[in-house]
Structure 1
Amino acid sequence: MPTSRPHQRWLFTCVLALTWTPNPAFTKEPADSVAFFENRIRPVLVEHCYECHAADADEIGGSLLLDSSDAMLVGGDSGPAIKPGETDASPLVLAIRYETSEMPPKGKLPDEVIRDFEDWIAAGATDPRDHTSTEMIRRDHIDMEQGRQFWAFQPLDYTEPTGESYEGSRGAIDQFIGQRLLESGIQPNPQSSNEIRLRRLSFDLTGLPPSIELQQRWAADPSWQHWKRIVDEMLESPGFAEQWARHWMDVARYADSNGSDFNATFHEAWRYRDYLVRSIASDQPFDQMIRQQIAGDQLPYESDAERHDNVVATTFLMLGTKMLSERDKTKLELDVVDEQIDTIGRAFLGLTLGCARCHDHKFDPVPTSDYYSLAGIFKSTVTLKGESQRYVSTWNRVPLPTTEEHRTAVREHDIAVLNLKSEIAKAEKALEEAKAGNPDDLHGIVIDDTQAIKTGTWKESTYTKGFVGQGYVHDNNTEKGTSTIRFSAELPADGPYEIRVAFSANTNRASKVPVTIETSNGVKTATINQRKTEIPPFWTSLGTFEFESASPAAVTLSNRDTDGYVIADAVQFLSVDDLHKINHPEDAPAENKEQAAAARARIDAAQQNVASLKKELQELAKNTPPPLPQAMAPTDRPTSKISDSPVHIRGEAKNLGEIVPRGFLQVCSGGEATIPNPRGSGRLDLADWLTDPDHPLVSRVFVNRVWMHLMGEGLVRTVDNFGERGERPTHPELLDYLATDFVRNGWHLKPLIREIVNSAAYHRSSDYNAEGMQADAENRLLWRMHRRRLPAESIRDTMLSAAGILSRTPIYDSMKSHGVLVSANNGNSTAGKITGVASPCRSIYLPVVRGYVPPMMTALDAADPDLLVGRRPTTNVPGQALVLINAPEINDWAQKTADRVVASTEGFEARLDFVYQLCLQRLPSKEDKQLAASFFSDNQQSPDAWQQWVAALFAGTEFRLLD
């Protein structure tokens, strides 16, 4: 992250010491004279600045030299220190005025000192000091031509293999590899067994084990022709698209929530996941997928389906975690842009571009100006838009194509709901008016909350309908024990009075509200359960108490030790006469009876109207049309808001340098890297640049990723870093051959995979070989196949498959049940809400919730969704076996597998064969059979024994490793 250290910021402003003052007897020379500089400017620079800002300083602060005229004009990290003739544009003047940086930091300089420097610069900044060489005063300079000589920035070099190779080679891949092996004198391993090769192929291409039917078919015909047919079958299977979509999801840092400070739900991220599955299933060219993910919203389209995928693909730019509650929105924008540039750099170019945000890249030929050329593109793009709550930003959403019928249905339904809710509001208001009047209209003496004496915090409200007077108050369920409210009355006569308290009941109210009643017989106490009322519509009786007109009559409610909201609306004191009028309305005069009957009729009618309208709303909700589809996707800013970006010095939001035009990386551009006439933000231009067939990096990086997934290690082992700090390719000619062929064949993934898995190198055994290990312990020359850990998803899916419960039905909209926040940001808030590993779906369809990745998947090295993960860590540690033994879901799957085996087969040997084919995709060896016979002994029919055997296989190393 960018830093802001004082000694790196404007250190040149130490030029003016707090103790220095001009000599009052000194006659002021003209500001454009040498004498003015020598008497009023140079002494300050020499005495107070050269220690840090001269060529012989131990460390030059802020990369700024002040010991020559050229040095001040060239400047340091913050750009030129002065601009002769332009006082208000000179950073030095702005700093000592305290208009930008506040320098010196211990106190503002005297006004006369500031005026001297203003006058000197306004007059042209006469400076007679000797010029220092440009080399001396400039910061480290990147030699772009020299940078282009690095292997990764060289054009693709397509070379046909010409050397000899080992017998059994099947094409160019084997010739390139075989030539290196022969030169090194290494004998490669022989071909793996048929069972191992089929298992390897199935997991690599589909992420799933081969079915028992396929195992049997392959065992019956392990011919080369049959192998190629199986490869083609797998490439066309749904499993292939899901497996390879999951690989790219690692690179795209896919997640269904934001994580970070505000774990907001990505309700629409699943659309991007499914776009990947569809695109890979149809073998869409990868260059087109790049164009869609960078600028799909600006691409032409011929159908709604094409427009849908173009827009959804740009979700790629939105998926990174963001500090949504950051109040400095300029900094937030820069951080989002930085994450997007870093992702594009590592995903497509294999370069760590984020380093250039604060300074020129330390190792690769990427100057800061190149970074901000890209930043201008993404600063002209809308990623965040609006707020989900105050200060919390949310992301841009783009409508997706749908039918006119759908839009009409949604529009008409929304209007109907709005109208019906308006009618219900009016009906409830009418009911409220019918049921409850002002305190003056009620029997007895009524004290409203507006007349009560309050201590502590009470919040006024009218949220829950049905109250006395104009509203009620509540304690906001906070600051318990600090709030009381006292209702005091002057009673007209001595005698007993029933006291009733008014409140709106609800399940979130306090169940035991402490009440004190001041009577003529002393203070009495009671409690109220405000989750229900006794006397409709909103009254509860505290009982009858004796009062004297000369004594206090008061009721006090407290929120001490309460377990919910405490509501205070009104208190009613009812005498015997008042109670008689309430309980015996028939004794009232005829006129009063008629009024009461009419009032009751109005209430009944109002209640029936509200109930009828609410039932109508419920019926309307049952027939709600699907919501209009939308994507979390970027758009370009309005034309007036699109602009190039200034360099942000040291990556700081408010420390601005020169403006650089939008463009690309110079080192990867044969000619001019600036976009001459950007189309909108420039994202479409960027997409064209990335997919230019002559680009030296993009096809290399992608082909290397594919090689790594199939062969265990990349030809460049640092798959996300092709720069100076990355590793060099083990077979550069092979890498360029595959990358060139990939582009020439239309950027299609399936032919590339087909060529690799049909090579002899892919079929080699992973067995240990002493001679090979001595000559090439790291297997860089590919004399054997790398032994690999299965990804977490394949391990889980294989257990579900063995249990016979793996569902191949995709899950859509998996976060539908979540609100704005996926959780309340605490450890217990997501219990039972997030679909867990027990679900029988393929792992790719499990929601990826940042901060809540299932422990089982984490233990098995699932990708960290906060990061771009080009190559997952692959560990094989005892903790993984413990997880596989102890996880309740895995024990359940082992039991289901055992039940399946017992129910499907007869006889011990048949069941043992079945178990091994389900779990390890092979038949048991002689040693396996001996060990099983010893374990089962007399328990060959026991489901529990079979469950234990399956669980042991699940926890074994062979289960989670791919030979």
Structure 2
Amino acid sequence: MHRFILISLGVLSFISSSASAQPDRAKLLEFFEKKVRPVLADNCFSCHGGAKVKGGVRLDRKETVFKMTDEPLVVPGHPEKSLVIKAIRHEIEHKMPPPPKAKLSAQAIDDITLWIKLGAAWPDEKNVAGPDPRMHWAFQPVRKPDLPAVKAKDWSANPIDAFILAKLEAKGLTPNPQADPRTLIRRLYFDLIGLPPTYEQVEDFAKAWDAAGAKQGPVLEQAVDRLLASPQYGERWARHWLDVARYSDTKGYVFIEERRYAYAYAYRDYVVKAFNDDLPYDQFLLHQLAADRLVAKGQAPASTQAAMGYLTLGRRFLNDIHDITDDRIDTVTRGMMGLTVACARCHDHKYDPIATKDYYALYGVFISSTEPKDLPLLGEPAQTPEYLAFQKKLQEMEKEVADYKSKNKKELDAKNRKYREELMALEKKIAAHQASHPGAPPRGMVMVDSPNPHDVHVFLRGKPGNNGPIAPRQFLPILSSDTPKPFKDGSGRLELAQAIADRNNPLTARVFVNRVWLHYFGAGLVTTPSDFGLRSDPPSHPELLDYLAATFSSPLPSGGEGPGVRGGFGWSIKKLHKLIVTSKTYRLSSAEHAKAREIDADNRLLAHANRRRLDFEAMRDSLLAVSGQLDLKMGGPAVDITTTPFSKRRTLYGTIDRQNLPGVFRTFDFASPDATSPQRFQTTVPQQALFMLNHPLVHQQVRALLKRPELAEVKDNAEKIQGLHRIAYARSADADELRIGLQFMEAAAQLPGPASFKALSPWERYAQALLLANEFVFVD
């Protein structure tokens, strides 16, 4: 019972990342595909699936599993009423599985029981692409479409606006008016750098905007260029990618090994730099999959090897190499191409044209690569006192390990448990030294090709050792114009990376531009950002998606023609940002649009902007920014941001512990670092308000806010209220706000002072109220 409760809690935390039903169902379906269907396929389908239906029981089809009879196989929500559970527990005369198979493991029984208890999610069984899956929209070549004709031609100078307006006009809708300049610049700051603008920055932009009259375009472009050139831009957009990369500073549970990744931060810092440098996206992908090969060929500097943390920073699954490899396949294929290839580990994909053989073709690529014990330096370390001290201690510890191995070689060769555990303890000390010493130089957590790369057998039903046919290492046939050619260059990782980053790949550019769109508008043009397969939601604006993908991935213009005519962006992410945020669609007001609400309740047509709540990083960083405490130091090892004394670094640099993710991260819907995360879904729970009311970090920032030089010496209440509004909201208080503030302070003066030094003073309570308001934590 205790075991089942613990598993239930773990799965509930995994699926409860959203307040809406849609993401919960997606998580439940993923649980079914990874934990339940493989068990059924391995143990039950041979007798109760396909052509074999012993005892009239068929377990491979939804309609037969959920068919209501006197003894239903599965009753969603009620495992105790489900015949399947009674059978696998051997509680009835007709036990499953029958001899000679053994009873299912306790883990498998618990998983199936929990699956039923949570509603027995089972995907709909339909072929949405028709007889030829290659005709699916996402598998078609990317072509740049012509701009649609629209009636309001003065509204559609930006290509994005033409596509958006055409859909609106077809529904008889007109877009909202443009947001005012103060709203627009605040939106830009949070979207591009994740920090609030100051009062002075807002006023300067608003004055320039108003003075420009009809020529406001250059004013907007200058503001966008300035933000894109800010180092904080790379930090903001790196965090979005780190969700996809399931970034963590720790390995998860790994027995007695050192839990920390000593050099995880090097990957995080690489991503920040890549965004700031506007590294072309195709090169960004190549670095993350095969930087070791590029460095060896002289095609990239040694520092790019940090990029391979994309592959190596995943969960360690108790060091099960099969699960580690599966995680890498999933992160690469879902993260970079929006394909759920990992669903073909045990059987052919139930919906997409991905065979089990395709999965093991990629499995062979990654199993033919290893993580070297000695990780490469990312550059020549400076001979600082800290480095010299680190190196001296490291050499002493490595000598101790070498001496121990030499002295106890016989026992270690015999795999004596006592001696192996003692050796592991010594090696753990070295890992801890590398992870904690301030003088440790950054290294790249790379993979390198094995000396003998090889193809692997298909593991029938996903069971290692249950060998089927050989699966040659090659790219996915569904994404290959011809029969895919076997990979011959080492493990094949570089060839795989080149196939993914090829501009002729129909998925790569579409998936990425959709991810970028998602962060600006709250939803992607495709609402399943990591699943572009046959069961994906079709794009709301398919021509716009292809226009963006084609422009993004096409080479830069060679002549004077600008992007949007014949040239492209050459995979420039900053150019893609600029195209989006200078559109009128991005600049729409978020005011309610009554007619659009009736016709398009989810605002898929974008008649107005979506009001969005700040994510955890932007909220915490904003608290530090308005208090004047934010430390903009960049890079370096992760820091603890959840315990006192609270770090003033940006949230990006906080330690991410995948096994013990801090409660405040979970409270504010932080992405799970256990698997690639396509999107964060927002919840509204009491703990969020309680954090803003009671957490010491918030109280600390409130007190620091009032100690800012522009407030500390102010005696006039009205002036101080105005100063607080200008810092918190980047605007002055209006007459009603000023009146309410003065009334509050007058009433507070009649009350006794704080009962203890921990209590907030009247001014501190007033300042906290401003930070609690929606205006502080939402972007209009």
Does residue 728 (structure 1) correspond to residue 538 (structure 2)? The answer is: yes
Superposition pairs of residues 470-619 of structure 1, within 5 angstroms: none
How far 1:105 moved relative to its partner? 5.0
C-alpha change, 1:418 and 1:699, in structure 2 (3 Å) is closer
Which secondary structure does the structure 1 equivalent of 2:458 belong to?
strand
The 8 Å contact of residues 129 and 136 in structure 2, kept in 1 or not, is answered as no
How far 1:416 moved relative to its partner? 12
How far 1:851 moved relative to its partner? 3.3
The 8 Å contact of residues 8 and 61 in structure 1, kept in 2 or not, is answered as no
Q: Counterpart in 2 of 1:307?
A: 301
C-alpha change, 1:275 and 1:419, in structure 2 (3 Å) is closer
Pairing partner for 1:921 from 730, 737, 757: 730
Q: Counterpart in 1 of 2:137?
A: 151
C-alpha change, 1:957 and 1:878, in structure 2 (3 Å) is farther
- Residues in 2 aligned to 1:852 and 1:56: alpha-carbon distance in whole angstroms: 46
How far 1:163 moved relative to its partner? 1.0
Q: Counterpart in 1 of 2:625?
A: 801
The 8 Å contact of residues 53 and 61 in structure 1, kept in 2 or not, is answered as no
How far 1:720 moved relative to its partner? 1.3
Q: Counterpart in 2 of 1:200?
A: 187
Q: Can you list the C-alpha shifts for 1:142-173, whole angstroms capped at 9, x where unaligned?
A: 99981110011111121121311534333100
Does residue 160 (structure 1) correspond to residue 146 (structure 2)? The answer is: yes
The 8 Å contact of residues 303 and 379 in structure 2, kept in 1 or not, is answered as no
- TM-score (norm: length of structure 1): 0.60
- Residues in 2 aligned to 1:684 and 1:399: alpha-carbon distance in whole angstroms: 21
Contiguous gaps of at least 5 residues in structure 1: 13-48, 64-100, 107-139, 327-331, 387-395, 426-458, 464-623, 816-831
Pairing partner for 1:653 from 445, 464, 474: 464
C-alpha change, 1:382 and 1:892, in structure 2 (3 Å) is same
The 8 Å contact of residues 835 and 847 in structure 1, kept in 2 or not, is answered as no
C-alpha change, 1:853 and 1:420, in structure 2 (3 Å) is closer
Q: Counterpart in 2 of 1:620?
A: none
- Residues in 1 aligned to 2:388 and 2:192: alpha-carbon distance in whole angstroms: 42
C-alpha change, 1:142 and 1:738, in structure 2 (3 Å) is closer
Pairing partner for 1:871 from 662, 679, 685: 679
Pairing partner for 1:637 from 422, 442, 450: 450
The 8 Å contact of residues 642 and 662 in structure 2, kept in 1 or not, is answered as no
How far 1:938 moved relative to its partner? 6.4
Q: Can you list the C-alpha shifts for 1:156-197, whole angstroms capped at 9, x where unaligned?
A: 121121311534333100011011111110121111122111
Does residue 357 (structure 1) correspond to residue 345 (structure 2)? The answer is: yes
Does residue 286 (structure 1) correspond to residue 281 (structure 2)? The answer is: yes
The 8 Å contact of residues 301 and 307 in structure 1, kept in 2 or not, is answered as no
C-alpha change, 1:413 and 1:940, in structure 2 (3 Å) is same
Q: Counterpart in 1 of 2:26?
A: none
Pairing partner for 2:203 from 189, 212, 216: 216
Q: Can you list the C-alpha shifts for 1:65-89, whole angstroms capped at 9, x where unaligned?
A: xxxxxxxxxxxxxxxxxxxxxxxxx
The 8 Å contact of residues 307 and 444 in structure 2, kept in 1 or not, is answered as no
C-alpha change, 1:835 and 1:671, in structure 2 (3 Å) is farther
Which secondary structure does the structure 1 equivalent of 2:589 belong to?
coil
Aligned residue type for 1:180: K
Superposition pairs of residues 186-585 of structure 1, within 5 angstroms: 186-222=173-209, 223=212, 224=216, 225-262=218-255, 264-300=259-295, 306-324=300-318, 332-383=320-371, 397-402=375-380, 414=392
Pairing partner for 2:704 from 862, 875, 896: 896
C-alpha change, 1:185 and 1:308, in structure 2 (3 Å) is same
The 8 Å contact of residues 49 and 59 in structure 2, kept in 1 or not, is answered as no
How far 1:917 moved relative to its partner? 2.5
The 8 Å contact of residues 189 and 764 in structure 1, kept in 2 or not, is answered as yes
The 8 Å contact of residues 881 and 956 in structure 1, kept in 2 or not, is answered as no
- Residues in 1 aligned to 2:602 and 2:221: alpha-carbon distance in whole angstroms: 30
Q: Can you list the C-alpha shifts for 1:897-945, whole angstroms capped at 9, x where unaligned?
A: 1222532656333322321222223322333223212212266999922
Which secondary structure does the structure 1 equivalent of 2:380 belong to?
coil
- Residues in 2 aligned to 1:182 and 1:334: alpha-carbon distance in whole angstroms: 52
How far 1:264 moved relative to its partner? 0.7
Please state which structure has a larger fraction of its residues in strand. 1
- Residues in 2 aligned to 1:50 and 1:364: alpha-carbon distance in whole angstroms: 23
C-alpha change, 1:671 and 1:6, in structure 2 (3 Å) is closer
Q: Counterpart in 1 of 2:720?
A: 911
Deviates more, 1:259-268 or 1:759-768: 259-268
Q: Can you list the C-alpha shifts for 1:683-719, whole angstroms capped at 9, x where unaligned?
A: 0000110011111000000000111111221111111
The 8 Å contact of residues 165 and 174 in structure 1, kept in 2 or not, is answered as no
Q: Can you list the C-alpha shifts for 1:323-361, whole angstroms capped at 9, x where unaligned?
A: 23x5xxxxx111111000111111111121111101111
Pairing partner for 2:763 from 926, 931, 946: 946
How far 1:60 moved relative to its partner? 7.7
The 8 Å contact of residues 205 and 235 in structure 1, kept in 2 or not, is answered as yes
How far 1:671 moved relative to its partner? 1.1
Q: Can you list the C-alpha shifts for 1:362-405, whole angstroms capped at 9, x where unaligned?
A: 1111111111111110111114x67xxxxxxxxx7344442698
C-alpha change, 1:837 and 1:679, in structure 2 (3 Å) is farther
- Residues in 1 aligned to 2:748 and 2:98: alpha-carbon distance in whole angstroms: 83
- Residues in 2 aligned to 1:51 and 1:351: alpha-carbon distance in whole angstroms: 26
Contiguous gaps of at least 5 residues in structure 2: 1-33, 62-96, 103-125, 404-417, 423-436, 555-568, 754-759
The 8 Å contact of residues 318 and 632 in structure 1, kept in 2 or not, is answered as yes
The 8 Å contact of residues 802 and 918 in structure 1, kept in 2 or not, is answered as yes
- Residues in 1 aligned to 2:349 and 2:145: alpha-carbon distance in whole angstroms: 32
Which secondary structure does the structure 1 equivalent of 2:586 belong to?
helix
- Residues in 1 aligned to 2:691 and 2:654: alpha-carbon distance in whole angstroms: 19
Which secondary structure does the structure 1 equivalent of 2:363 belong to?
helix
- Residues in 1 aligned to 2:98 and 2:685: alpha-carbon distance in whole angstroms: 55
- Residues in 2 aligned to 1:60 and 1:858: alpha-carbon distance in whole angstroms: 40
Q: Can you list the C-alpha shifts for 1:457-478, whole angstroms capped at 9, x where unaligned?
A: xx9xxx9xxxxxxxxxxxxxxx
Percent identity over the alignment? 34
Aligned residue type for 1:198: I
Pairing partner for 2:590 from 751, 758, 766: 766
How far 1:958 moved relative to its partner? 2.2
Please state which structure has a larger fraction of its residues in helix. 2
How far 1:627 moved relative to its partner? 4.4
Q: Counterpart in 2 of 1:488?
A: none
Aligned residue type for 2:723: F
- Residues in 2 aligned to 1:415 and 1:930: alpha-carbon distance in whole angstroms: 64
How far 1:626 moved relative to its partner? 4.3
- Residues in 2 aligned to 1:60 and 1:938: alpha-carbon distance in whole angstroms: 73
Which secondary structure does the structure 1 equivalent of 2:315 belong to?
coil
Q: Counterpart in 1 of 2:658?
A: 850
- Residues in 2 aligned to 1:50 and 1:887: alpha-carbon distance in whole angstroms: 55
C-alpha change, 1:417 and 1:360, in structure 2 (3 Å) is closer
The 8 Å contact of residues 648 and 657 in structure 1, kept in 2 or not, is answered as yes
Which secondary structure does the structure 2 equivalent of 1:659 belong to?
strand
Q: Can you list the C-alpha shifts for 1:536-587, whole angstroms capped at 9, x where unaligned?
A: xxxxxxxxxxxxxxxxxxxxxxxxxxxxxxxxxxxxxxxxxxxxxxxxxxxx
Q: Can you list the C-alpha shifts for 1:180-231, whole angstroms capped at 9, x where unaligned?
A: 1111101211111221111100000000001232122113222422221111
Aligned residue type for 1:277: V
- Residues in 2 aligned to 1:807 and 1:714: alpha-carbon distance in whole angstroms: 33
Aligned residue type for 1:264: R
The 8 Å contact of residues 152 and 696 in structure 1, kept in 2 or not, is answered as yes
Q: Counterpart in 2 of 1:840?
A: 648
C-alpha change, 1:725 and 1:921, in structure 2 (3 Å) is farther
C-alpha change, 1:907 and 1:667, in structure 2 (3 Å) is same
